[in-house]
Every structure is written in C-alpha cells, then in structure tokens.
Amino acid sequence: MRRIEIFDTTLRDGEQSPGVALNADEKLQIAHQLSKLGVNVLEAGFPIASPGDFEGVRRIAQEVRNVSVAALARANAKDIERAWEAISGAESPRIHTFIATSPIHMLYKLQKSPDDVLEQAIQAVRLAKSKVSDIEFSAEDASRSDVDFLAKVFSGVIQAGATVLNIPDTVGYATPEEYAAFLQSIMERTVGIEKVKVSVHCHNDLGLAVANSLAAVGVGVHQLECTVNGIGERAGNAALEELVMALHTRKDQFNVETSIVTAEIARTSQLVSRLTGMMIQHNKAIVGKNAFAHESGIHQDGMLKERSTYEIMSPSVIGIDVESIVLGKHSGRHAVQQRLTDLGLNLEEGRFEELFSRFKLLADRKKEVTTSDLFSLADEQKEKTDLINLDYLQVSSGTHLVPTATVGLMFQGQRLADAACGDGPVDAAFKAIDKVLGTQGKLIHYSLQALDGGEDAQGEVTVSVKFGENLVAGRGVSTDIIEASVRGYLQAVNRAFSRGWIEILEK
Ligand SMILES: [Zn+2]
C-alpha cells in the first residue's frame, strides 16, 4: 500500500494562531509527543521571526529524534542562514523555503515581477542546497497562481535541488475537485516532478481544508501538511486527526496508509489544547468531547445491541481509554505513579512527592480524580518554574458588597501583595494582580467550563489577555472558579513576561 507522509506544522503554522504563545519548554514537550505520534516531518518554527522562535527550533532539532525537523525560511539568504543554524543539530534536517507566486501577492506584497520571483526562488533553493540535502520549496498562494508560471518555478527549483514541492491553498479558497485538477495540471507541466515529493498545505477558511487535502491524495501527492486540532492562521489548517482517521477508516476508498500511531491521537490533542489554551469545540470530529457520545434513546439502544450500528470507529483506536482505573482518596503512591507513567507524564525527580500531596488534597475535595485532573496537577508542577506564582488569594463578594480581592504573589523570592475592587470577584482579582506587578492587562476573552463531567468537576478557565499589542492565552484549573481564573491570568502574565512583552516594576 502507498505510504502518505504526515508533515506536522502545529509548532509553526499552529503557533501563529491568534493568542497562542508557547515557550521553548512547551514547544519541546509538544515536539516529543509528535515524535511519539509518528509524524514524518515536524516543522518546528520560523527561526528568523524572534530569538524565542530560534531557541525553540534549536532545542527541538537537538533533542527530538526519529523525525525530520523542518525550519521555515523566506526565500532570502538571511532567513536561510538562520534556519540552518537552528536545525543543523537535527537527525534529519529540512529547510523549508517559500515565496509567493500568485499575481496578487507578487504585485502587492512582494512588488516583484514574475521573472524576479523565479530567480529569487532558484537562488534560495541553491543556497539551501549548499547546506543540507532535504529542501522543501513552497509556492505561497499557489492555488491562485497561474499554472504555467507555477510549473516554470517548480521546474526551476527542482533543478536547483528541491526535494519536496509544496502546493498550498494558502487562503483556503480552493474546492476539492478544482484543487485536484489544478494539482494534476501542475504535475503534468513540471519538468523533473518524478524525482521529488509533492505536498499540499490547506487552510480551512471555507471549512474545506481536510476535503481539499483528501482530494489531493486522490491525484497521488506524497505529503500532507496539517496541525493537531486544526489550529493555525485564521480558521486554521487541515486537522491532523481528521486526515489520519479518514485515511485509516476509509482505507477502502483511499488505498494509502500513514505511519501515525493512532492510539496517541487523543493524548496529543489534549496536550496541544492545554498548552496553547485553544479549546476544542465539543462537536469537533475525532477529538471533540462529544465525538463518541450517543445521546438519543434510539442510538443508545442500537449501541447496546451492537456498537457498529452507530459507531464507525472505536474510541480506543485514537487512545480514549473507556475503562481507565479510577483514582480516589484511597489510591496510593504506586497507583498514581503508574497512571502518570501510562499518560506519559514524567515528572522531574522530587516533583512527584509534591504532586502526590496535591493529589491527596484534591481527592479529599472530589470523589474521583480523573485523567484531566492529573494532567492539571502535572501542569501545576511544571508551572513551578514560572517566575510569578500565586501565594494566596482572598475574595469577598455578594449581593450588597463591592467585590474586593487581595492577591499575594511570589516574584523573585519576594512576597508581594495588593488589593483592588472590581465589577465582580474575578475582575477584582485581575486588577489586584495588575496592581501588584505594575502591569496593565486587557482581558479580551474569558471562558469557564467544567474540566470533565460530574457534579464535582474542577473548573477550567481560559483567558486571552492583551498586553500592549501582544495577545497571550492562559489557562487555570481549580475546584474554586475564582482561583482557576487567577491561575489562568497568571499563566498569561508569565508567558508575556518570559517573552519580554511586559516589565515587572521593582518594588
Ligand atoms: Zn499555512
């Protein structure tokens, strides 16, 4: 059976989602999981974009194995040198360089003639080839480009040494049949196409990213670019889990296979959602909370008699374990440790004892400690490396009271505290944090939901906060929703601080 390669760009295109700002540690954590998931190529970032991006790519290239690591570069010498510097330590490095080829992009954005664009593309690939053998070339906005011009550019870059040609639908404008026909005619007109791999990269502006990618499989492309949970610029990219499970479940139609370990899909999806702060809609295909839930009586009856009446794939295939061991206040060290290992949550030495005592406190407050609870406890331990931490929180609010909050924070070994009033207790607490730190966050988005089902579920708060021009997301979990809100806000503050977007006033 023909093998389709999965090129994951969660850490590059996905990280460009508004509000997402991952630090190098978080990127590394996702990269390790992507390697476990079995992606063939992992696009780690855009090194020229910022020192933080560079550092994230460099560490992934050095530490993550069993996967090709790609770095993005515009078609110029500076970008390519920087990309190469970042990925030279990788097991199999790939430089991914691009330039726009559509009339609209060449005229307005690049302000260059088609001949200049062709020349620049060839020069860029030649330079990249002097550093590494694996070169991917993307024609940005390919789907709105002239077929003959595009074929000319592709023929030129193949001769210059490109090994993968990417034909993206950058603006999500294509429709499946049209896109397939377009790809076909490019492949017919490009000289040397049989020597290289052909790739597609589809955006979801019309909700067609997955459909367009699958149409491309039909005309024989070799590589699909996608992101976990479909995150990315604007409406996002083709969702990895949807592509993989469509190819897997309908092998009879597509006749291809991937190297993805499907049992890692759910775990990867949850990790990406947690670290990016981008929530997954409940009815999202494959990984949404309701994707395997059956509500109507008729459906439930059918399921009890025979699962295949309403179930086209089993949740266990994507790694949702229906019968996981229940952890509660009687669970011992060993059971908790074992469950953490099963979930791939390996804590640093010494951190386990702290987690275990937090686990005991939580088990006293709720009957069952779920997988989501464990992930949150583990996150909390990781957050201990944050520079600003919550020391204490005290709130008063009620029908006839002015909501007031006092917040104590630990920053550089100092205990800082202040109080503020607000429209409500959450607002008061956020204002108190800003007062303590001398920051000015503007809350753009706030949402609260139960971490998982059941009446004793923990509250999960996600926030997007704007500091100056920069938007950053944060997430907090607690049995107390005000505390969850404060933890979410503090995560956003920590992220903004580690990126140099805010300054903390010395007291
Ligand atoms: Zn893209």
Annotated binding site for Mn(2+): 13, 201, 203, 237
Q: What is the C-alpha to C-alpha distance for residues 124 and 460, in angstroms, rounded to an integer?
A: 46
| Among candidate residues 246, 276, 306, the one where a domain is terminated | 276
**What 3-state class would DSSP assign to 367?**
coil
**Cβ pair 46, 72 in contact under 8 A:** yes
Both 207 and 149 in one domain: the answer is: yes
End-to-end CA distance of the chain: 66
Residue 106 lies in a domain: yes
327, 355, 379 - which closes a domain:
379
Q: Classify residue 498 as left (phi > 0), alpha (psi -120 to 50) or beta.
A: alpha
**85 CA → ligand 1 middle, Å:** 23
- How many degrees, rounded to 5, is the angle at CA 407 between CA 402 and CA 412? 160
What gap in Å lies between CA 193 and CA 171, rounded to an integer? Answer: 25
Are 322 and 262 found together in one domain? no
Same domain for 401 and 362?
Answer: no
98 Cα: distance to centroid of ligand 1 (angstroms): 11
The predicted pLDDT at position 323 comes to: 44
Asked whether residue 136 is domain-assigned, the answer is: yes
Known binding residues: 13, 201, 203, 237
Distance from Cα 156 to the centre of ligand 1, integer Å: 23
- 468: CA distance to ligand 1 center in Å? 26
- 469's tokens: 């021009």
Q: Within 10 A of 436 (CB to CB), how many other CB atoms are there?
A: 22
Pairing mode, strands 404-411 and 414-421? antiparallel
The CATH number for 450's domain is 3.30.160.270
Q: In terms of residue numbers, what domain contains 485? A: 388-499
**Domain annotation covers residue 495:** yes
Same domain? 47 vs 18: yes
Assess whether 360 and 239 both reside in one domain.
Answer: no
Give residue 293's pLDDT. 76
Are residues 120 and 260 both part of a single domain?
yes
Cα–Cα distance measured from residue 86 to residue 97, given in angstroms and rounded to the nearest whole number: 14
Question: Could you say which of 356, 379, 402 is where a domain stops?
Answer: 379
**Do 146 and 79 belong together in one domain?**
yes
Q: Would you say residue 189 lies in a domain?
A: yes
Within this chain, do residues 325 and 433 fall inside the same structural domain, yes or no? no
Q: Are both 243 and 129 inside the same structural domain?
A: yes
How many structural domains compose the chain? 3
Extended beta strands in 19-117, E state: 41-45, 68-74, 92-100
Rounded distance from Cα 17 to ligand 1 centre (Å): 10
Q: Is residue 372 located within the same domain as residue 419?
A: no
Same domain as 135, residue 265: yes
Query: Residue 57 Cα, ligand 1 centroid: separation in angstroms?
Result: 18
Q: Which residues of the chain have pLDDT under 70?
A: 321-325, 382-385, 453-454, 506-507
What CATH code is carried by the domain that includes residue 27?
A: 3.20.20.70
Residue 352, by phi and psi: left (phi above 0), alpha (psi -120 to 50) or beta? alpha
How many whole angstroms from 202 Cα to the centroid of ligand 1? 7
Please give the distance, rounded to the nearest whole angstrom, from the Cα atom of residue 170 to the centre of ligand 1: 6
The answer to whether the beta carbons of residues 477 and 452 sit under 8 Å apart is no
What is the Å distance from ligand 1's center to 124 Cα?
Answer: 20
Give the distance (Å) from ligand 1 centre to CA of residue 70. Answer: 14
- Residue 148: inside a domain, yes or no? yes
What's the chain's length in residues? 507
> Does 444 lie in the same domain as 361?
no
Task: Give residue 401's Cα distance to chain centre.
Answer: 42
Distance 262 CA to ligand 1 centre (A): 24
228 part of a folded domain: yes
Record the tokens describing residue 378, joined without a space: 């583990």
Q: Cα of 152 to ligand 1 centre, how many Å?
A: 23
* Residue located via tokens 């005290």: 394
Rounded to whole angstroms, the Cα distance separating 139 from 198 reads 12
* DSSP result, 336-378: HHHHHHHTT--PPTTHHHHHHHHHHHHHHHSS-B-HHHHHHHH
Asked, for residue 155, whether it belongs to a domain, the answer is yes
Burial class (CB in 10 A: 0-12, 13-18, 19+), 211: buried
- What's the pLDDT at 304? 78
- Give a yes or no: residue 295 inside a domain: no
**Per the confidence metrics, is the pTM higher than 0.85?**
no
Ligand 1 centre distance from Cα of residue 233 (Å): 7
Closest CA to 418 of 427, 400, 405, 401: 405
Cα diameter, the chain: 77
